[in-house]
Amino acid sequence: MFEYFGAHSSQIWKLTLEHIEMTAIAVCIAVLIGVPLGILISYVRKLDKPVLGLANVVQAIPSMALLGLAIPLLGIGVLPAIVMVIIYSLLPIVKNTYTGISGIDPLMVEAANGIGLTPRQVLTKVKIPMALPVIMAGVRISAVTAVGLMTMAAFIGAGGLGYLVFAGIRTTNNYQILAGAIPACILALLVDFLMGLVEKLVTPISLQKSGGLSRKQMKRKRRREKLTLGTAVVLICAIIVGGAVNSRLAGREKEITVGGKDFTEQLILVNLYSDYIEAHTDIHCVRKENLGGSQVCYQALKKGDIDMYVDYTGTLYGSVLKHDGTDDMEGVYNTCVKEMKKKNISLTQQCAFNNTYTLAVSKQIAKKYNLETIRDLVRKSSQLHLGCTLEFQNRHDCIDALKKAYPSLKFKKISAMDGSPRFVALDNKEVDVIDAFATDGMLMKYHLKVLKDEDHVFPPYYAVPCFNSDTLKKYPELQRVVDELAPKLTDEVMMKLNYQVDVQGKEPKDVARAFLEQENLI
């Protein structure tokens, strides 16, 4: 593990800084919204139940669902991630502010009014100072929670430590998962410590437990705490400002954003095409990896949040355009080109590899039930447990296509899950059958039996670069460059590249770079 941390220290540090920056921005905005809102409902009592009720309802929505709902409105990247964390951070801040203000002794407020303080002075000089410890307890809860929630940012290409966690899950790389989880845990503990200091500093010395210290020692301790907190604030501000300056300086006149889905092959393709484009043009590529499934990338491309991603003809044909399956490779491609053009999306030359969907079983299951083809599987399906991806279960060209082709298909049980865990589940005999891709390196890792699709239920899934049409008009040289790379990517090549990541534990960007250099393509 320590070797992995040492070899990837620069990446871990970079993602940690991104995580700190996004979390700090989200918590600061949540405080700026939540504290005034809490004060408002403490004065206007008719608003307290609706506001707190709404905050409770939002808190009950799963974070992934809220993030998914934000994508069509806000696109991908940092903005929707920060908005999601702000929304989740509001409830403790609003609730504690309301409780702190409302819980002040009425006699104290009456005394303040009696000495002639205005309502504003009562609020700023009496109520807020007295309620600060309670308010800061809510901010502390929100800040610590925000660190964990921000790992979800990687799902939509915003970066942060969640990138390592998601990438590690996809490739079943435990060291990579720990490389994201451990810094996130340390960061949460550090935030909790700093927020604890703030709580102490806003609590009058007279109300704090002395722990045997004299008043002079208490004041000296408070000065040290202020210095520690001040240093931390300066560092966080430097990270935020540095990130903003770096983003501005990094901006280039000719730049495109290359997106990719959330599995090994897509991670490799993002880096393959980005490296190749940068080597053969003067265009810089910003890489947005791990963007979830096809619909996330497709919607991001339509909105212009990304300029390019690699999809598969079968996915576009069946899932996006809602056509039934066919084994006509050229027909599928030509239909996709024609109909996607109407959506302002241009497809370039399709690659030479066909990453079609397959169904796979262990060799023991294949022998036990005498399985060679999908048709054989159908006859035994009532005795078998299918473990598939969420996308496979919900797409028009996947499980629906199987049921349409084989009306008698009825699995004993279907368990939908994330990508890589289904291989582990199969290996642990928790499921009997899984969906897979023809070029998946995990097939080699687990020595699985791929069932033949004799009836061509699944359409051809040739990889094809998809561009926002406006991007190709702006940079027409991209068409020539990506068309040059497409024939080099064969079934054999992609399976070997996937194997290097999935089994040998290499980084997708290193595997992509090494292939291009070995083939003298860059």
Q: What is the pLDDT of residues 105-163, one digit of tens each?
A: 888 888 888 888 888 888 888 888 888 888 988 999 999 999 988 988 887 777 788 88
| pLDDT over 80 (residue 75) | no
Write down the pLDDT at residue 374.
Answer: 92
| pLDDT over 90 (residue 246) | no
Same domain as 219, residue 104: yes
pLDDT in tens, 400-453: 888 888 999 999 999 888 766 888 889 899 999 999 888 887 888 888 999 998
Q: Which residue has the higher pLDDT, 378 or 234?
A: 378
β partners of residue 352: 490
Same domain as 308, residue 440: no
Query: Which of 451, 478, 509 is the last residue before a domain boundary?
Result: 451
Mean pLDDT for the stretch of residues 59-80: 78
Count Cβ atoms below 10 Å from residue 381 Cβ, excluding itself.
21
* Residue 306 domain flag: yes
DSSP at 325: P
Contact call for residues 497 and 509 (beta carbons, < 8 A): no
| pLDDT over 80 (residue 369) | yes
Same domain as 396, residue 282: no
How far apart are the C-alpha atoms of 478 and 491, rounded to whole Å? 24
Cα radius of gyration (the chain): 28
Write down the pLDDT at residue 278.
Answer: 94
How far apart are the C-alpha atoms of 337 and 345, rounded to whole Å? 8
Residue 159 — left, alpha, or beta (φ > 0 → left; ψ -120 to 50 → alpha)?
left
Give 34's pLDDT tier (boundaries 50, 70, 90).
Answer: very high
CATH number of the domain at 363, please.
3.40.190.120
CATH number of the domain at 338, please.
3.40.190.10
pLDDT in tens, 259-313: 998 788 999 999 999 999 999 999 999 988 878 777 788 888 988 889 999 999 9
Same domain as 211, residue 326: no
| pLDDT over 90 (residue 345) | yes
Write down the pLDDT at residue 336.
Answer: 92
Mean pLDDT for the stretch of residues 4-28: 85
* Residue 462 domain flag: no
CATH number of the domain at 148, please.
1.10.3720.10
Q: Which residue has the higher pLDDT, 245 or 231?
A: 231
Count Cβ atoms below 10 Å from residue 1 Cβ, excluding itself.
10
Write down the pLDDT at residue 486.
Answer: 92
Same domain as 361, residue 303: no
Same domain as 442, residue 486: no
Query: Which of 204, 220, 249 is the last residue before a domain boundary?
Result: 249
Question: If you average pLDDT over every residue of the chain, what do you get?
Answer: 85
* Residue 412 domain flag: yes
pLDDT in tens, 170-195: 666 778 888 888 999 998 998 888 88
Same domain as 37, residue 139: yes
* % of the chain at pLDDT higher than 90: 33
DSSP at 383: G
* Residue 225 domain flag: yes
Same domain as 140, residue 274: no
Write down the pLDDT at residue 169.
Answer: 74
Count Cβ atoms below 10 Å from residue 520 Cβ, excluding itself.
6
How far apart are the C-alpha atoms of 435 and 389, rounded to whole Å? 7
Sign (positive/negative) of CA torsion 46, 49, 55, 61? negative
Q: Please tell me the total count of domains within the chain.
A: 3
Write down the pLDDT at residue 443.
Answer: 84
Contacts of 409 (CB under 8 A, 6+ apart): 378, 381, 402, 403
Contacts of 292 (CB under 8 A, 6+ apart): 155, 156, 261, 262
Same domain as 282, residue 260: yes
Domain that holds residue 140: 2-249
Report helix angle 508-518 to 491-502, nearest 10.
Answer: 140
DSSP at 428: T
How far apart are the C-alpha atoms of 104 and 37, rounded to whole Å? 18
Contact call for residues 420 and 437 (beta carbons, < 8 A): no
Give 220's pLDDT tier (boundaries 50, 70, 90).
Answer: confident
Write down the pLDDT at residue 222.
Answer: 67
How far apart are the C-alpha atoms of 231 and 214, rounded to whole Å? 26
Range 31-70 burial, b when 16+ CB lie within 10 A, else e: bebbbebbbbbbeeeeebeebbeebeeebeeebeebbbeb
Same domain as 362, residue 324: no
Distances (CA, A) of 212 to 135, 200, 218, 221, 379: 27, 16, 10, 13, 78
The residue behind tokens 């437990």 is 209
Write down the pLDDT at residue 205.
Answer: 59
| pLDDT over 80 (residue 479) | yes
